[in-house]
Amino acid sequence: MDNNYKSGFAAIIGMPNVGKSTLLNAAVGQKIAIISDKPQTTRNKILAIYNDEGSQIVFTDTPGIHKPHNRLGEMMVRAAKESMNDNDILIMVVDASRTVHDTEREIAAAIKNTGLKSILVINKVDIVKKDSLLPLIADYSSLNDFDAIVPISAKTGDGIKLLIDEIKALLESGPQYYYDDMVTDQPEKQIAAEIVREKMLWLLDKEVPHGIAIEIEKMQEKENVTAINAVIYCEKDTHKGIIIGKNGEMLKKIGALARTDIEKMLDKKVYLELWVRVKKDWRNNNYLLKNFGFVQSGE
C-alpha cells in the first residue's frame, strides 16, 4: 500500500431531519440511505464508502439524536451515540434555517469530550440568506473547536467537494478497508426493504410510517428478472387499511415507486409483490426488533 494513501471512518451525526442521509448519498454519488422530510427516517447505522485514487472515507449515517418514545427509539439514539467512539472524524450536521437547539448543544459537548477531529456541516444553505450564516457559525464555534466549518447544500451538491477535501485533510495514512467497487456494506435485501419504507414515508400520513417495518421474505434471481416478496408490518388494523388504500391503490403506488428504485439499484427488471400484516406494538417488542434486523449491541 502506498504510504501516501489515507483512510478513516467518519460518522455523520446530528438531530433528525437535518439532511444526514442526503449528505451521505451526495458524498458517495449514489443512493445508499433513504430520504424523507419526516424525522427519524434512518433507524440503523448505514455504512457508505467514498473512494478515490489516494484515499478511502468510510461514512456512517446514524439515526437522528432525539428523545426516544419506545424501544426502537432508544436503540436508534444509542446507535447514534455509540458511533462517536468508533470513528476517526465526527461530522456534525445542522440545519442552516434553524437556531441552535439544546440537543445540538449536548451533541457538540459530547463531540468535545471525545477529543476526536470534527467538522461542522451547515446544511440547507440554499434556503437561507448568506448573511444569516455568520451568527450561526459563531454560535456553534462557541460550543466546540471544530477543525473545519463547511456550509453546504446536500440537496444541490453545493459544497460537497469542499467537505470531502476537508475530511481528506484530516485523515491519516491507513489501509484500504474495502474494495474500490464497494459503496456500502448493506446487503441488497436490506436496501430493497429500506426503499419500500422510503416510499411509504413519502406517501403516507405522519403517524403511519414510523410504525412500519419491512421484511423481505424472498429475493430470487431468475433469468432477466429479480422476484421479491416483501411483507409490510404495521401496528394497527386502521394503518393496514391506509397502507392498502381504496381498491389497493395506495399499495400499488408504493410498489410502483419502490420497484423503479430497486431496478436502478440492481440494474435489472424486478417483480415486486407486497403484503401487509399487523404486528401490534412491535416497536417495544425485543424479539420482533431483532427479527426485523435492528441491531441491539450488548443484548
Q: Evaluate if residue 165 carries a pLDDT over 60.
A: yes
Does 296 map to a domain? no
Q: What is the model's pLDDT at position 74?
A: 57
Last residue of a domain, one of 173, 198, 221: 173
Last residue of a domain, one of 173, 207, 233: 173
Last residue of a domain, one of 111, 140, 173: 173
What's the pLDDT tens digit per position in 101-134?
A: 888 888 888 888 888 899 999 999 999 998 999 9
Of the two residues 13 and 83, the one the predictor is more confident about is 13
Residue among 148, 144, 146, 140 at smallest CA distance from 169: 148
Query: Are residues 22 and 163 both part of a single domain?
Result: yes
| Structural domains of the chain, count | 2
Residue 17's domain comprises 6-173
Return the number of other C-beta atoms located less than 10 Å from residue 97's C-beta. Answer: 15
Does 299 map to a domain? no
Query: Are residues 140 and 225 both part of a single domain?
Result: no
Query: Are residues 141 and 15 both part of a single domain?
Result: yes
Q: Evaluate if residue 66 carries a pLDDT over 50.
A: no
C-beta separation of 242 from 208 below 8 A: yes
Query: Are residues 30 and 149 both part of a single domain?
Result: yes
Domain CATH number, residue 225 = 3.30.300.20
Mean pLDDT of 267-293: 80
- Contacts of 65-68 with C-beta under 8 Å, sequence gap 24+, read 65/13, 65/14, 65/15, 65/16, 65/103, 65/106, 65/107, 66/15, 66/16, 66/39, 66/40, 66/103
Query: Are residues 147 and 269 both part of a single domain?
Result: no
Query: Are residues 59 and 144 both part of a single domain?
Result: yes
Query: Are residues 55 and 16 both part of a single domain?
Result: yes
* Confidence label for 39 from pLDDT (cuts 50, 70 and 90): very low
Query: Are residues 76 and 199 both part of a single domain?
Result: no
Query: Are residues 84 and 194 both part of a single domain?
Result: no
Q: Evaluate if residue 296 carries a pLDDT over 50.
A: no
Query: Are residues 124 and 228 both part of a single domain?
Result: no
Does 178 map to a domain? no
Does 254 map to a domain? yes
Grid coordinates of 128: 437561507
Domain CATH number, residue 66 = 3.40.50.300
Query: Are residues 115 and 213 both part of a single domain?
Result: no
pTM for the whole thing? 0.67
Does 183 map to a domain? no
Grid coordinates of 156: 444541490
Q: What is the model's pLDDT at position 198?
A: 84
Grid coordinates of 48: 457508505
Query: Are residues 22 and 126 both part of a single domain?
Result: yes
C-beta separation of 103 from 15 below 8 A: yes
